[in-house]
């Protein structure tokens, strides 16, 4: 999941200047506001992967759907115990079209910067979405808080794609 997140972030930031404004920008992901403290959701969360400052959780009782599209997994990413990103993984193939239409219906038209990779971006003031699909296997939708991702990049010095800030200077 981390590698996919990094790739999506890099692509999104490279093309951010050309992105259309997102309609109905999400202030949260499934009821958890961006930047929310983990402590208030502790009783609902089960650790999927612990990477130190970054921890992925699943939430008990989550409905494995995004509107009418079935999901395989839903994950919640916290950075330093504050909510930064929600991730939904779905089936690929024929589900891709339904998923894209569902997201367009809610957030408006996406930017699709690369034709060879099924990847779509929605950019808002405080959040962004990235849909990435592996044609035959799965799709992943990442809902992310811009301020939280910027804080993480400032803290770690790691830019999208894994490059360190001092390497760019």
Which domains occur in the chain, in start order?
A: 2-159 (3.40.1000)
> Given the DSSP bridges, would you call strands 69-79 and 82-91 parallel, antiparallel or unpaired?
antiparallel
pTM value is 0.82
- What is the chain's pLDDT, residue by residue, as a tens digit (169 residues)? 544 444 344 444 444 444 466 888 999 999 999 999 999 999 999 999 999 999 999 999 999 988 888 899 999 999 999 999 999 999 887 788 889 999 999 999 998 877 777 889 999 999 999 999 876 788 999 999 999 999 999 998 875 545 555 444 4
List C-alpha distances in Å: 55 to 12, 26, 80: 22, 22, 8
Q: Write down the pLDDT at residue 45.
A: 98
Exposure string of 102-135, with b = 16+ CB inside 10 Å and e = fewer, is bbeeebeebbeeeeeebbbbbbbeebbbbbbbee
Can you give the pLDDT at residue 17? 43
pLDDT of the residue at 31: 95
pLDDT number for residue 20: 60
Quote the pLDDT of residue 34: 97
């Amino acid at each position: 999941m981390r590698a996919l997140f990094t790739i999506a972030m890099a692509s999104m930031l490279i093309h951010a200047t050309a992105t259309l404004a997102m309609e109905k920008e999400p202030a949260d992901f499934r009821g958890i506001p961006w930047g929310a403290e983990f402590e208030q959701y502790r009783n609902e969360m089960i650790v999927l992967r612990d990477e130190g400052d970054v921890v992925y959780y699943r939430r008990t009782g989550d409905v494995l759907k995004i509107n009418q599209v079935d999901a395989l997994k839903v994950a919640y990413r916290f950075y330093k115990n504050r909510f930064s990103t929600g991730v939904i993984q779905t089936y690929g193939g024929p589900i891709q079209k339904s998923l894209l239409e569902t997201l367009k219906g809610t957030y408006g038209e996406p930017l699709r910067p690369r034709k060879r990779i099924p990847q779509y971006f929605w950019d808002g003031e405080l959040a962004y979405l990235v849909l990435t699909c592996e044609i035959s296997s799965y799709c992943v939708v990442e809902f992310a808080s811009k301020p939280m991702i910027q804080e993480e990049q400032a803290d770690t010095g790691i830019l999208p794609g894994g490059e360190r800030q001092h390497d760019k200077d």
